[in-house]
Structure 1
Amino acid sequence: MEEIRNLSLTGIPVLFLPGNAGSYKQVRSIGSVSLRKAESVGYSDHFDVFSINFNEELVALYGGSLQKQTQFVHISIKAILRLYKNQEFPPQSVILLGHSMGGLIARALFTLRNFKPQLINLIITQATPHVMPVLPIDHYLTDFYALVNDYWTLNQNQLQNITLLSVAGGFRDYQVRSGLTVLPSLIKNSALSVVSTAIPRTWASTDHLSIVWCKELILTTSRALFDMIDEETAQITEDPSKRMAVLKHHFVRHPAKLYEPSSETAVNISETARCFFVKTRNWELLVTKVSFI
């Protein structure tokens, strides 16, 4: 606690963005789970979780505040990174975790003129209507959506290093249907859209609010974040292909084992060998010579 009071931070920064009328306190679920995982398993690395206070503004009904919120998040990201300036290897980017409209704010950051895309390499959104507003009753809101989606469509090649994950709540989410959470197909190589009912070891639908504190989903998210840590830099890996591979491992297939980046080199067995050791969980048998009697 003394280190926290003095802001002597040494972890990986994660910034939570609440949605429409959302509270900054909703970050406590992912924050507590990631902390317990780092302490109980004995990880040398950990995450420093921050949260934005938007004063519970109703941005889903009035879009006039969305641009101001986006600019405020940009200032907050730069302020967070300054807290690590005394580290030997300070982080160069921040992980964004957005709920509902907070996920749209995360994508809107890239539309700012003076924003550096290097400040973000991973965005995870929960029940975020990416396609269009749930209630398009305000022209400020529809114009903001057009600005964000057009930018990501026209600049897809420059945004390939940004990894995105969109999680939908499923049939229990009456406020944001799953079809609205799908990310643009043009960024399919760096984006992944899933429904909570199809996530391995989750298999449950969540309503619009409980998706933030669903234990199974939070555990899956926390496991994925820890598996993305680069051992050399103690930060999230800069390799977008590895980040996507980790997300697909935990949110799509999850073969009931720990994530491994690659399998071990093949082992050749001589005809006289009777015993050998395989130091990997991934294995397969390839027979090249078969004789039938």
Structure 2
Amino acid sequence: MQEVTDNADFNEDFTAFHGRTILDQAEYLNQAIKFILQLYENNVNPPKSVIVLAHSMGGVVARVMVTLPNYVPESINTIITLASPHAAAPLTFDGDILKIYSAIDRFWLAGYQEKLENDDGSGKSGNDKELNNIAKERLANLSLVSITGGLLDTILPADYTTLGYLVPPSNGFTVYTTGIQNVWTPVDHLAIVWCGQLRRKISELLLDIADYESPL
């Protein structure tokens, strides 16, 4: 997989408050990734996928992207999230937020049902066979890493960031910044974006993931 770098800034949009905003951002980003990959189509060995690095609700948006009709199959190889509320919505003022969280979880649980059942017997899935097949195809080779700042993150409790119930060890995990080599410290909700020690480790991770000899 070749590395393609770009940045999406929604000007601190109130994603945590509004379900429609989550869907709009996810749909837009799928189109953006499609456009970015098309820019490299004429390369000798064009990239076919990207790595998504997301902060806070951006991590939830990234998970929504894979579930939408305009998602390009295998266009996302890895999702790395920083202080993202995967396990529960941080705010529930808008009913659509709860519906979106429920729909995302159904999709991801369906995609990893067999692997989760093999791990601990906790796999769950809906009855929609077509949806389950789509979920399995889209998530089979996708990795999801959730990084949490721990005790210093007073905005989002660490329990909200866990992937244990959702993603099997073969495809992802949750890690505290205190457990990352050469970081070794809790980080607050905003500082996790610019913490120098963490940024260096993530940069090293991105370089390790990128394979310039493979388009995937």
Interval of TM-score (by shorter of Structure 1 and Structure 2): 0.7 to 0.9
For these two proteins, the number of residue pairs brought into alignment is 190
- Provide the identity percentage: 36
Q: Tell me if 1:219 matches 2:200.
A: yes
Task: Tell me, yes or no, if the aligned pair for 1:92 and 1:119 is still in contact at 8 Å.
Answer: yes
Of stretches 57-66 and 124-133 in structure 1, the one that deviates more from structure 2 is 57-66
* Larger relative contact order, structure 1 or 2 (CA cutoff 8 Å, min sep 6): 2
Shift of the alpha carbon at 1:229?
Answer: 2.9
Task: Tell me, yes or no, if the aligned pair for 1:160 and 1:187 is still in contact at 8 Å.
Answer: no
In structure 1, distance between residues paired with 2:66 and 2:212:
28
Q: 1:52-71 maps to which residues of 2 (within 5 A)?
A: 52-71=8-27
Q: Tell me if 1:73 matches 2:29.
A: yes
User: Which one has the bigger helix percentage?
Assistant: 2
In structure 1, distance between residues paired with 2:108 and 2:61:
13
Partner residue in 1 for 2:157: 177
5+ long unaligned stretches in structure 1: 1-10, 14-48, 239-293
Task: Tell me, yes or no, if the aligned pair for 1:133 and 1:145 is still in contact at 8 Å.
Answer: yes
Runs of 4+ in 1 over 3 A off after TM superposition: none
Q: CA RMSD in A?
A: 1.6
Q: Tell me if 1:98 matches 2:54.
A: yes
Cα 1:231–1:54, aligned 2, differ >3 Å: closer, same or farther? closer
Q: Give 1 or 2 for the bigger CA radius of gyration.
A: 1
In structure 2, distance between residues paired with 1:211 and 1:122:
19
Cα deviations by residue, 1:39-63 (Å, 9 ceiling, x for unpaired): xxxxxxxxxx211132321111222
Secondary structure of 1:52 counterpart: coil
Cα 1:134–1:186, aligned 2, differ >3 Å: closer, same or farther? closer
Partner residue in 1 for 2:39: 83
Q: 1:1-293 maps to which residues of 2 (within 5 A)?
A: 12-13=3-4, 49-156=5-112, 157-158=136-137, 159-188=139-168, 189-230=170-211, 232-233=213-214, 238=216
Normalised to the residue count of structure 2, the TM-score between the two structures is 0.83
Cα deviations by residue, 1:247-290 (Å, 9 ceiling, x for unpaired): xxxxxxxxxxxxxxxxxxxxxxxxxxxxxxxxxxxxxxxxxxxx
Of stretches 115-124 and 88-97 in structure 1, the one that deviates more from structure 2 is 115-124
In structure 2, distance between residues paired with 1:186 and 1:50:
28
